[in-house]
Structure 1
Amino acid sequence: MSDQRTVDDSPSSMTAEVVERCRQHGFALAGVCDAAPSRHVEEVREWIARGAHGSMAWLEARIDERLDPEVYLPGARSIICVADRYHDGTREPRDPEAPPRGRVARYAQGRDYHKVIKKRLVTIVKVLQEDHPDHDFRPCVDTSPLLEREHAMRAGLGLVGKNTLLIEPGVGSWMLLGAIVTTLPLAPTPPRIDRSDPCGSCTRCIDACPTDAISPFSVDASRCIAYTTIEHRGEVDPELADRTGPWLFGCDVCQEACPHGNRNPRRGLPSVNPAYESRHRSFDLLEVLGWTEERSLELLAGTPARRATLAMWKRNALVCAADALNERPEGPGAEALRRRIIAISTDEAEDDIVRRAARRTMEGLGMSGPGQTSLE
């Protein structure tokens, strides 16, 4: 940026410049809203109070900051909101002749979005800080205590749907969000969508959810497959395990069901960020059950899928194996998978959670192994 550049400090001009800079850095969408407190304080507190956040204690720990950006950044006046597209809605091919595999949610198939988004936000902040040295700027991704979806909606990036995800009509919810909270007084960007509800009478996401985790505009995280496979550290509730299907890490069912995410994207919208190009859409379940710590780190390095521990990956693979073997008991690789499950059930080198998951899988499939026919 040249030292000769003239900075126009009018709120509307600054907003236009900031939004353009965000687009130059490859963000599909960008907008600005004021840093007002959440309009859903009571709903959020009630959601936490009834335990719908599961074991994600950090959501409760900094709740005051989440509900009011000025608690997070004293003097906050504006929030710059951005979104990356990470998928175009194309259905992933399935090979019916392949050995049993577990699916990985699309957001976790490429590079870690926290780093991809944060790096560019930090670059933008450096320029803004040079232009406005008397103001503070704090770049955020979803590890920060910020209700980013609510702010993104108010900034005009989209509308929150019944599955609680931000939806861009014609594109869907295949977006990852970031923000910059600042004391700089910017003009809010106007809404680009002339309605408040992207769903109307549609309930496809609610109907499609295998675990009944979704009610209109609310998700019980403790029942969500994404939460169970990514955040939950203990044993999987048998009722939820029976409904998990092929999801090894995360879940895209509600997004796949959404009609907004399965149309030809609107012309003029930037393409999917290549950083999120798929490295691993799925994994062979037999291979996952044989992973070492070193092998898992090698395969998952640089992706969001590193969040789950090795024991969680194996636990999840055993849940997926039960579904796969129920569906195709004599399919390719089925017998080898059964032998591996039996071996894990008595392997003292495996984590206790993994051994117990193996025994539960055996019980559900009516299998027996050497000296191990119960969960005790």
Structure 2
Amino acid sequence: MLQQLKQKIQSLGFLDHAILPVSFLEEEETRLKTWLENDMHGEMGYMNRNIDKRLNPSLLVENAKTIIVVLLNYFPETTQDDPAAPVLSKYAYGTDYHFVMKDKLKELLQFIQEEIAPCSGRPFVDSAPVLERAWARKAGLGWVGKNSNLISPEHGSFFFIGELIIDTELPYDDPKLVRDHCGRCTKCIDSCPTKAIVAERVVDARKCISYQTIEVRGEMDSNLKGQFENRVFGCDICQDVCPWNLKSEPHNEAGLKPHPKLLTLQKQDWENMERPLFNELFKNSAVKRTGYKGLQRNLRFLGNDEEI
């Protein structure tokens, strides 16, 4: 049964996975509450809600017994052509990963229900109170690096994390925690242009380029102007410099492939982008989160003082 399940997970294109019993994440409680008490979540008020559910997945799914943690590679084969163009985070090249991963996890749930055991469950992909990195670490899929990203010794860190929580016990893996391989390296800390990594494994979201370009709904922090290194949506700098990402290999997930026009956009194409092109390029993209007006705001913030 376990082998059959693992073959299905692999056939869905996941990079890695582990099957664990649901439990309370006691070791994360102090870390999470301290981060919130220091207001490092900024405008992300949702982070301050449902703390009990973040620490205890059994409150998310009634009678939860099992959590299946999966990784999905999003490292692209090619990046943007124009080195002067505003930089889009690699994770946003293709279809919004929430859709891609949830579809796969729903298919996995259906497979378990039909082939393994009757059960109920829910897929989770970065849109519910689940401490994904903590679970992936507990699952032995990697360690939490100094930039607070999960790093896999085999695959680096350019992957999404998702979970399927079900109310049926399955044969569980016996994962071993991956030891911290960061050593004395501080490349991610040193390379962050806004100094958002305020301590090892602690990111002040308010200073983070990803937070500023995606989560902030009003005007971005003027104190950070000129420090974005041309990032228009998201930021990969702390991952790009990580030596472990030399292990990253291009994904072959059709849903994450970029729109044919996207990577060829020149600097002026971004600056002159009108709504119809935005809608064409980002119809099902994570960039829809900030919207057309948000993207225009971000472009202006990068230093183009003309009205876009």
TM-score normalised by length of structure 2: 0.90
Which sections of structure 1, spanning at least 5 residues, go unmatched?
A: 1-12, 323-340, 345-353, 355-376
Matched residue, 2:9: 22
Amino acid at match of 2:56: D
Which residue number corresponds to residue 219 of structure 2? 235
- Which residue of the partner structure matches residue 302 of structure 1? 284
- Counterparts of 1:192 and 1:274, CA distance in 2: 32
**Contact persistence 2:66–2:165 (CA under 8 A):** yes
Code of the aligned partner of 1:116: V
Residue of structure 2 equivalent to 1:42: 30
Partner of 2:254 in structure 1?
A: 274
> Partner of 1:33: helix, strand, or coil?
strand
* CA distance, structure 2, for counterparts of residue 264 and residue 119 of structure 1: 24
Quote the Cα distance in structure 2 between the aligned partners of 1:287 and 1:154.
44
- Does 2:180 match 1:197? yes
Change (3 A) 1:62 1:281: farther
Amino acid of the structure 2 residue aligned with 1:159: W
Contact 1:103 1:283 in 2 (8 A): no
Cα pair distance change 1:281/1:251, threshold 3 Å = farther
**Residue 142 of structure 2 corresponds to residue 158 of structure 1:** yes
- Structure 1 stretch 61-70 or stretch 16-25: which is displaced more? 16-25
Q: Note if contact 1:163-1:205 (Cα within 8 Å) is conserved in structure 2.
A: yes
**CA distance in 1 between partners of 2:72 and 2:147 (Å):** 19
Mapping 1:57-72, distance limit 5 Å: 57-72=45-60
Q: Does 1:220 align with 2:208?
A: no
CA distance, structure 2, for counterparts of residue 158 and residue 21 of structure 1: 22
Letter in 1 for 2:166: T
CA deviation after TM superposition for structure 1 residue 303, in Å: 1.4
Displacement of 1:188 = 3.2
1:231 and 1:272 map into 2 onto residues whose CA distance is: 29
Q: Which residue of 1 aligns with 2:237?
A: 253
In structure 1, distance between residues paired with 2:281 and 2:194: 29
Question: Aligned pair in 2 of structure 1 residues 92, 127: CA closer, same or farther (>3 Å)?
Answer: closer
**Structure 1 stretches (4+) deviating beyond 6 angstroms?**
none
- Give distance in 2, aligned partners of 1:302 and 1:132: 33
CA contact (8 A) 1:70 1:76 kept: yes
Which residue number in structure 1 is paired with residue 69 of structure 2? 81
Deviations 1:157-178 (A, max 9, x none): 2222111111111421010111
**Which amino acid in the other structure matches residue 227 of structure 1?**
Y
Q: Which runs of 5+ in 2 are unaligned?
A: none
* Alignment match, 2:193: 210
Identity %: 31
Deviation at 1:250, TM superposition (A): 0.5
Report if the CA contact (8 A) 1:156-1:189 is conserved: no
Contact 1:104 1:282 in 2 (8 A): no
CA contact (8 A) 1:206 1:254 kept: yes
Partner-residue secondary structure (3-state), 1:321: coil
Per-residue deviation, residues 35-87 of structure 1 (Å, max 9, x unmatched): 11122111101111211111111122222211110111132122101111111
Asked if structure 2 preserves the Cα contact closer than 8 Å seen for 1:33 and 1:151, the reply is: no
Say if 1:160 and 1:198, in contact at 8 Å, map to a contact too: no
Give the AA of the match of 1:76: A
Q: Which residue of 2 aligns with 1:116?
A: 100
Aligned to 1:336: none
1:282 and 1:249, CA in 2 relative to 1: closer, same or farther beyond 3 A?
Answer: farther
Q: What is residue 321 of structure 1 aligned with on the other side?
A: 303
Counterpart in 1 of 2:155? Answer: 171
Cα distance in 2 for partners of 1:228, 1:166 equals: 21
Letter in 2 for 1:231: E
SS at match of 2:302: helix
Inter-partner Cα distance in structure 2 for 1:91 and 1:320: 24
Count of aligned positions: 304
Q: CA deviation at 1:136?
A: 2.2
Contact 1:103 1:282 in 2 (8 A): no
Is the Cα–Cα contact under 8 Å of residues 21 and 67 in structure 2 kept in the other structure?
Answer: yes
Residue by residue over 1:96-123, the C-alpha shift from the partner in whole angstroms, topping out at 9 and shown as x without a partner, is 6xxx420100000112111111111111
Equivalent of residue 188 in structure 1, options 167, 172, 185: 172
Residues of 2 paired with 1:93 and 1:234: CA distance?
28
1:226 Cα deviation after fit = 0.6
Higher relative contact order, chain-length normalized (CA < 8 Å, sep 6+): 2
Could you report, residue by residue, the CA deviation over 1:336-358 in whole angstroms, capped at 9, with x for unpaired residues?
Answer: xxxxx44x2xxxxxxxxx7xxxx
Match of 1:312 in 2: 294
Instruction: Write out per-residue CA displacement over residues 273-302 of structure 1, whole angstroms, 9 at most, x where no aligned residue.
Output: 233223324754544444443332122111
TM-score by length of 1: 0.74
Specify the SS of the correspondent of 2:70: strand
